[in-house]
Amino acid sequence: MTIYLDCNATTPIDPRVLAEVHRCFVEEIGNAGSPHEYGLRAKQIVHTARDQIARIIAAKRNEIIFTSGATEANNLAILGLFDHGVASGKRHIVSTQIEHKAVLEPLSYMKNRGFDVTLVPPASNGRVNADAILDAVRPDTLLVSMMHVNNETGVIQPVADVAEGLASPDLFLHIDAAQGFGKDLDPLRHPRIDLMSISSHKIFGPVGIGALFVRRRRDRDIPLTPLMHGGGQELGLRPGTLPVPLISGFGLAAELSAAEADARRVACQNIREQIIAGLSPLQPIYHGDEAVSLPHVISVSFSGIDADEVIELLTGVAAVSTGSACTSVCATSSHVLSAMGVAQPELDGAVRISWSHRTESSELQTSIPQFVDRLSRMMSPQ
């Protein structure tokens, strides 16, 4: 049986969440916008989920806008500020070179339409320096958009330091928290954050649902223009019938992630140690600084083997990936590791191994020796 080690691409749904999603599909048949009792029940379920999600990032219920996932949330946060940028003459955006394509692509859309985008590079340890981000801010900066945790290396970015250093109220701060939400919560509660993207399928919830947190201040609303137009749901920012079962599952997954965050972290750390000890005969080259990383992912190269070969060699043993799921499909080498200055042979060989608190240590005991055996045969052909 192939062990699943690609939890940064997507996590298996938690059985408790699956039971709730199933219950809603079967029992809660109403549209949350309908006035009758089925509709009111559905509306109540959506309220509860909104509260569950809002609570863990110190937000209010009306600050959670449900979307299809973090990609859509990122697009709404960035492209949604286009009109305001044009109207106010603020056409500069600061971001980083290690963002997910779901941020880089909306940024290049803005760039192609007259915006100026500064992408700050990371240090070789995978972390972008907070001062480098703050130094890039100009009087005409509309938005700073940065990720919380990198999807390839697991390196935690200095969100709170950037939030602390951004004095100007005229500038918006967006955080792509797809990989850290539910795992490293403190920085995400910073009151300077204006917009934040989160995703359910990264935290053992159903795929196809996520949210954009949009801060509502008494003195200043965030001037987002919706990307779609329709029935006015989600305060007009994201119209469309709400997928109540998915939302309910997302709410429960979020609540469980916060309640169990410490235990999950310890379990992941133990698995990390098991994996690192098991792989040591291969003399792996690790990318990114472990001291500032979440403990459920490693980016690693094995001397002389290309990433595609690693993946093929591991067929039937372990499912690992070459970077972000999109990057794998796009068959390009990692822009994240390249920005960190990783040399070409290691860049070509880099694979991402990511697990969760639910990864079975006993399964690893069987699969890691097979992993080592298959790769070492390739590294030193007989």
- For the window 108-147, what string marks contact with ligand PLP as x by the rule CB under 6 A? ---------------------------------------x
- Tell me how far, at minimum, the Cβ of 10 lies from ligand PLP, in Å: 7
Window 214 to 253, contacts with ligand PLP (CB under 6 A)? none
Interatomic CA distance for residues 352 and 57, integer angstroms:
28
Q: Which of residues 140-179 bind ligand PLP (CB under 6 A)?
A: 147, 151, 176, 178-179
The answer to whether 259 and 353 have CB atoms below 8 angstroms apart is no
Give me the 265-304 binding string for ligand PLP, x by CB under 6 A, dash otherwise. Answer: ----------------------------------------
- Residue 49 CA to residue 52 CA, distance in Å, equals 5
Of the candidates 43, 90, 92, 100, which one interacts with ligand PLP according to CB under 6 A? 100
Give residues with Cβ within 8 angstroms of 380, minimum separation 6.
none
State which residue, 71 or 299, has the beta carbon closest to ligand PLP. Answer: 71
- Contacts of ligand PLP in 190-209 (CB under 6 A): 199
| Nearest approach, Cβ of residue 74 and ligand PLP (Å) | 6
- Taking the complex as a whole, how short is the minimal distance between the CB of residue 313 and ligand PLP, in angstroms? 24
Are the CB atoms for 52 and 254 separated by under 8 Å?
yes
Interactions with ligand PLP, residue window 298-357 (CB under 6 A)? 324-325
Give the nearest distance from C-beta 304 to ligand PLP in angstroms: 29
Using alpha carbons, select from 291, 282, 299 the residue that is nearest to residue 340: 299
CB atoms closer than 10 angstroms to residue 116: 14
Q: How far is 205 from 69, CA to CA, in rounded Å?
A: 11
A 10 A CB-CB count for 342 gives: 23
Instruction: Say if CB 245 and CB 21 are below 8 A apart.
Output: yes
326 annotated active-site: yes
Find the shortest distance in angstroms from Cβ 54 to ligand PLP. Answer: 18
- Among 67-75, 158-166, 246-254, 311-319, the segment contacting ligand PLP (CB under 6 A): 67-75
Question: Residues touching ligand PLP: how many (CB under 6 A)?
Answer: 14
For residue 331, CA distances in Å to 70, 99, 258, 288 come to 22, 17, 35, 22
Catalytic residue among 7, 24, 326, 330: 326
Q: Do residues 374 and 314 lie in contact, with contact meaning Cβ atoms separated by under 8 Å?
A: yes
Say if CB 250 and CB 261 are below 8 A apart: no
- Shortest Å distance, C-beta 14 to ligand PLP: 17
Q: Examine residue 210 and tell whether it contacts ligand PLP (CB under 6 A).
A: yes
| Rounded distance between C-alpha atoms, residue 67 and residue 210, angstroms | 5
Among 5, 59, 63, 71, binds ligand PLP (CB under 6 A): 71
The residue within the footprint of ligand PLP, chosen from 102, 246, 320, 337 (CB under 6 A), is 102
Q: Name which of 100 and 287 has its Cβ closer to ligand PLP.
A: 100
* DSSP reduced 3-state for 298: strand
Listed residue (231, 198, 233) closest to 214, CA to CA: 198
Length of the chain: 382
Which residue, 179 or 359, has its beta carbon nearer to ligand PLP?
179
Closest CB to ligand PLP among 67 and 367? Answer: 67
Q: How far is the CB of 372 from ligand PLP (least distance, A)?
A: 28
CA angle 18, 19, 20 (to 5 degrees): 90
φ, ψ of residue 38 to 5 degrees: the values are -65, -40
Residue 70 or 268: which CB sits closer to ligand PLP?
70
Q: Which residue has the closest beta carbon to ligand PLP?
A: 69
Out of 42, 70, 128, 375, which residue is the one contacting ligand PLP (CB under 6 A)?
Answer: 70
Residues 307-337 as b/e (b if ≥16 CB within 10 A, e otherwise) read: bebbbebbeebbebbbbbbebbeeeebbbbb
In the complex with ligand PLP, which residue's Cβ is closer, 172 or 250?
Answer: 250
Catalytic positions:
326
Binding footprint of ligand PLP on the chain (CB under 6 A): 69-71, 100, 102, 147, 151, 176, 178-179, 199, 210, 324-325
